[in-house]
Amino acid sequence: AEEQKLRQQPEMASKRNGSDGGARRGCGAGAGALHATFNMLALSWIIISELLLSVHCLKDLKIFVPEAVIMGNAATLSCQYDLEQAALYAVRWYFGQEEFYRYVPREAKPTFVFAVAGINVDLTNSDATSVTLKGVTRELTGTYQCEVSEDAPLFHTEIRSAYMQVIELPKGDPVLQVGKKVIGVNDNFKAVCTVGPSYPPANISWYINGRRIHNTPLQRITQNSYEGSPTFSSLDIYPHSQVLMGFFQVMPKYQPNIMLQCEVSILHVFHKSVQHPIGLSNAPPTTISPNLLGLEGSKRYANGDPDNSALTGASQRCSICFGALGSLSLALATLTVAQL
């Protein structure tokens, strides 16, 4: 009986081990199947999403905002996009972070205007792709954003932004003042160009005969501008400056003129200029002999001409000639008396 019990124990142990192994194999198989199912669902969702995005998707969103607008004028901001086969849900416009216009095609009245300081929307010229602002002011300088959303099921949304500058033009034309109307090769020259207040301050450029003058040690350009004050620029040209030497070198015999021009500009929307003719003189500087001024009269030089002056040398030669003639006249007079 004991031997029979001993023989039965290994058989029972092997049965228990077999049953435990089968259970473990069954659990492992179940977990693997669950993991495979999850992976399959995730892959399917990714494929479906990609197909939806590629077939019905908002794309190519572009914003067009004027870089600069003159104060008081109208400004049209536009937003171009491609919905392909998707439906439009809404278009929203923002100034900074404040929404001021919305277009929702589903609504009975698709356009909505929100109160934002300084913004006056022209609804007759605003729609799903553009919005027009009337009578813009300086306070409307800043960043504008266009946000476009497509309809269900994805509600895909994109946004673009751009900057707009509102310009206040100066009142009146620029004024050009010159220090000399005629300049020589060794002369200094100064000119000043002034224009009234503007926003932003105007930029002033200088030209001679259409050639731009650049800032160099012999051609100095300065500009000063302050908020609410006129803008002025000064031009100082010194002897042997590059811009003038070129004109003096090719100057004809008669006295020519050059045209000085100052140009006032504000971005790309405002340009005004004023011109002034300047005469060029190539006459040599006048010199006066020191002897004529009574200077160094007691000094004598080897060539008899203390300052190499033709006038002084001629005077000395004339004195010698007159002395010789006087001697000859005296000799002739003496001979005549002797004969008598």
Q: What is the pLDDT of residues 254-311, one digit of tens each?
A: 557 899 999 999 998 999 999 999 988 876 544 444 443 444 444 444 444 444 434 3
Comparing CA positions, the residue from 115, 138, 121, 124 lying closest to residue 77 is: 121
pLDDT at 161 over 60: yes
- Give strand pairing partners of 68: 165
What's the whole-number mean pLDDT along residues 9-25? 53
Instruction: Name the CA radius of gyration of the chain, rounded.
Output: 49
Say if residue 246's pLDDT is above 70. Answer: yes
Confidence of residue 336 (pLDDT cuts 50, 70, 90): very low
Pull the structure tokens for residue 141.
């300088």
Query: What's the pLDDT score for residue 41?
Result: 80
Which ranges of 134-288 would DSSP assign to H, the alpha helix?
242-249
pLDDT of residue 17: 53
- Give the range among 7-11, 60-64, 171-175, 308-312 with minimum mean pLDDT: 308-312
pLDDT of residue 180: 92
**pLDDT score of 291:** 46
Report the percentage of the chain scoring pLDDT > 90.
Answer: 49
Which is more confidently placed, 320 or 258? Answer: 258
**250 has pLDDT over 80:** no
Going by C-alpha positions, the residue among 194, 206, 170, 169 that lies closest to residue 69 is 169
Token readout for 285 is 């500087």
Q: Is the per-residue pLDDT at 8 higher than 80? A: no
Please give the Cα distance from 120 to 99 (Å, whole number). Answer: 13
| pLDDT, mean over the chain | 78
The beta-strand segments (E) located in 238-339 are 257-266, 270-281
Higher pLDDT residue, 184 or 333? 184
Cβ 141 vs Cβ 166: under 8 Å: yes
Among 229, 230, 211, which Cα is nearest to 219's?
A: 211
29 sits in which H/E element: helix 2-55
Q: State how beta strands 98-103 and 88-95 pair.
A: antiparallel
Residue 164 has pLDDT above 60, yes or no: yes
**Interval 306-334 mean pLDDT:** 45
**pLDDT bucket at 49, cuts 50 / 70 / 90:** low
Within 10 angstroms of residue 274's Cβ, the number of other Cβ atoms is 16
CA distance 272 to 262: 9
Q: Give the model's pLDDT for residue 198.
A: 94
Residue-level pLDDT at 244? 81
Residue 163's pLDDT is 97
If one counts every other C-beta atom within 10 angstroms of the C-beta of residue 126, the result is 19
**Statement: residue 184 has pLDDT above 50:** yes
Q: What is the pLDDT of residue 134?
A: 96
* Ramachandran angles phi, psi of 140, nearest 5°: -90, 10
- pLDDT at residue 85, rounded to an integer: 77
Pairing of strands 142-150, 157-167: antiparallel
pLDDT of the residue at 298: 42
Q: Which pLDDT score, from 0 to 100, does residue 255 have?
A: 53
**Nearest-angstrom CA–CA distance, 9 and 22:** 20
**pLDDT digit string, tens, across residues 108-151:** 999 999 999 999 999 999 999 999 999 999 999 999 999 999 88
Q: DSSP per residue over 187-205, as a string? A: --EEEEEEE---BSPPEEE
What pLDDT is stored for residue 50 in this prediction?
Answer: 59
Judge whether residue 4 has pLDDT over 50.
Answer: yes
pLDDT digits (tens, 9 = 90+) for 201-235: 999 999 999 999 999 999 999 999 888 899 999 99
